[in-house]
Amino acid sequence: MTDCGCDKAKAELEEYLHREVSDADFADITEHLATCEDCSAEHLIGLTLSEKVRKACQEKAPDDLRAAVLGRLQELKL
């Protein structure tokens, strides 16, 4: 494996965070993050932001609204 460099690591950070890069790119970026303080800091910011968004998006619709939407979707499937 080879260190991919800052440009590639930063350009593909979002995809890396969501595991949307190839296995080879994932390994290269992981290797780079282990040795680059600047990119590692950006990675930590991305991880923190992703976790905050994930936690904030766990709210569920009220049962009656959920039932109405699902019922309408079933009607549209017919």
What pLDDT, in 10s, does the model give residues 22-76? 999 999 999 999 999 999 999 999 999 999 998 888 888 899 999 999 999 999 9
The verdict on residue 1 lying in a domain is no
* Average pLDDT of the residues of the chain: 91
The total of structural domains in the chain comes to 1
Q: What's the domain range around 64?
A: 6-77
Residue 2, pLDDT > 80, answer no
Q: What phi, psi does 76 have (nearest 5°)?
A: -70, -25
Residue 65 maps to which CATH number?
A: 1.10.10
Sequence-separated (6 or more) residues with CB below 8 Å from residue 63: none
Query: Within a 13 Å sphere around the CA of 8, how many CA atoms are in the beta-carbon half?
Result: 15
Residue 72 lies in a domain: yes
